[in-house]
A = this chain, B = another copy of it.
């Protein structure tokens, strides 16, 4: 995988290291190369490397120890509630699949999952998509995402299969998640969810309505997630 060329150096290093941690090049407990070694590796200076490490540390990927080095922690601090955790076994990336139900397309806003929209957002319309997340070929998440159609060139048509939406936004559009609000409730599966999850009528399902703020002022993502928590629970750190 290559990286967008427009990114500043510290972001590039951050992306590379982050991906290496995610891919298992470095595993929990490992010592990252020293800052000076990373300088030589990436042909940048120490402040640049330090900025990348600052961010990794801040997000919980690594812990730094003066005089010792940067230790990989692996599990990043949850950005709200995002991660999935098996009740019986751990979820390996190899078992994770994303199936697109509705390809990204431009729609007018129907509603934004109980969050109120600004005038600009309403006028711009939204990019709408539906995805199903499967673990071991079993549907666990059903995900509706709505993004304001503001300055996202070539987003429609971009292949989102098995890609993290956040990764795409961060790497291609420099959009970073800054925070947000989420509302959680329990519902019973409607016909559609029954079909997706293969569960009977009356089956309890977790519903998350999320408004996700970004570094672009006033630009928020809205997502609604339904989760079948029979085998996998939603897990988050705070």
Q: A: which residues have CB within 8 A of B? A: 47, 54, 58, 60, 63, 65, 77-82, 85, 87, 114, 178-188, 202, 204-206, 209, 217, 227, 229, 233-238
Kindly provide the distance from the CB of A188 to the nearest chain B CB, expressed in whole angstroms. 5
A114: which B residues are within 8 A, CB to CB? 87
Q: Are A206 and B235 in contact (CB under 8 A)?
A: no
Q: Are B63 and A180 in contact (CB under 8 A)?
A: no
Kindly provide the distance from the CB of A231 to the nearest chain B CB, expressed in whole angstroms. 10
Residue in chain B with minimal CB distance to A206: B186
Measured CA separation A217–B140 after assembly (Å)? 35
Residue in chain B with minimal CB distance to A79: B238
Work out how many copies of this chain go into the complex. Answer: 2
Q: Are B238 and A184 in contact (CB under 8 A)?
A: no
- Chain A interface, DSSP helix/strand/loop, else mixed: strand
Measured CA separation A161–B209 after assembly (Å)? 32
- A80-B236, A238-B80 in contact; A186/B205 too (CB < 8 A)? yes
Q: Are A185 and B238 in contact (CB under 8 A)?
A: no
A81: which B residues are within 8 A, CB to CB? 182, 184, 236, 238
- A58-B58, A186-B205 in contact; A181/B236 too (CB < 8 A)? yes
- A65-B217, A80-B236 in contact; A204/B187 too (CB < 8 A)? yes
Q: Are B202 and A202 in contact (CB under 8 A)?
A: yes
Measured CA separation A80–B181 after assembly (Å)? 10
Residue with the highest number of chain B CB atoms closer than 10 Å, among A47, A85, A227, A233: A233
Measured CA separation A181–B183 after assembly (Å)? 17
Q: Are A179 and B217 in contact (CB under 8 A)?
A: no
A235: which B residues are within 8 A, CB to CB? 181-184
- A58-B58, A217-B65 in contact; A237/B186 too (CB < 8 A)? no
Q: Are B206 and A184 in contact (CB under 8 A)?
A: yes
Q: Are B183 and A238 in contact (CB under 8 A)?
A: no
Residue in chain B with minimal CB distance to A205: B186
Residue in chain B with minimal CB distance to A71: B217
Q: Are A229 and B179 in contact (CB under 8 A)?
A: no
Kindly provide the distance from the CB of A192 to the nearest chain B CB, expressed in whole angstroms. 16
Q: Are B179 and A237 in contact (CB under 8 A)?
A: yes
Q: Are B186 and A186 in contact (CB under 8 A)?
A: yes
Q: Are B188 and A202 in contact (CB under 8 A)?
A: yes
A238: which B residues are within 8 A, CB to CB? 78-81, 179-182, 238
